Amino acid sequence: DAGVIQSPRHEVTEMGQEVTLRCKPISGHNSLFWYRQTMMRGLELLIYFNNNVPIDDSGMPEDRFSAKMPNASFSTLKIQPSEPRDSAVYFCASSLLRGDNQPQHFGDGTRLSIL
Amino acid sequence: AQTVTQSQPEMSVQEAETVTLSCTYDTSESDYYLFWYKQPPSRQMILVIRQEAYKQQNATENRFSVNFQKAAKSFSLKISDSQLGDAAMYFCAYRRPTGGGSQGNLIFGKGTKLSVKP
């Protein structure tokens, strides 16, 4: 079975540009999470969805960040305009909402570099 | 708010030996879940082992086992017969149960970098 699929794997762009990260969760999973990993702050939750509905976006750093989940098989994280401090690895993870011991399955991450 | 602390930024172990990675957490809840994830240089986050707080028995997965001390809020990972492929960052994570407004997001520690010497 395919795991969580993220694209692109690497993204390098200049500050001020719009960046869109994409995620396809595991089929049948109904919870989706976006995390950001940096050396300074470690792994931080940005936002998560249950059944395509955003539940908690308190981790989204500022209004430049937005996330959508238009259907059960696709989510995007958008940064507009991007800044050098947004450089990080962004992970998407999915899990089953039912069953408390269900683990989160992570994608391979997108390494984002803002010049 | 819940916090997870990994006090060892780096650890080293000789191949075939045993190493223990420490993790402590802070919570006022009685029901929760704990996880260890491994992140090799490939960057992939791989689930190593999980523990339900209501279970007294320590979880075991092949060479990986945990020492869960609920009263002490401690959740250490023991790796036996260490192999070169075990070299990675290891993250301890806490998760509240679903329901009651909590939907189960993970709270991670800062990680421990494990090196395995041949």
- B98 touching A, CB under 8 A? yes
Pairwise CA distance, residues B60 & A91, whole Å: 27
Tell me the one-letter amino acid at B90: Y
Tens digit of each residue's pLDDT, chain A (115 residues): 689 999 999 999 999 999 999 999 999 998 999 999 998 889 999 999 989 999 888 889 889 999 999 999 999 999 999 999 999 999 999 998 766 667 899 999 999 999 9
- Which residues in B lie closer than 8 A to residue A35 (C-beta atoms)? 106
Which region, left, alpha or beta, applies to residue A58 given φ > 0 means left and ψ of -120 to 50 means alpha?
Answer: alpha
| Contact between residue A6 and residue A92 where contact means Cβ atoms under 8 Å apart | yes
Q: Are A101 and B105 inside 8 Å of each other by CB?
A: no
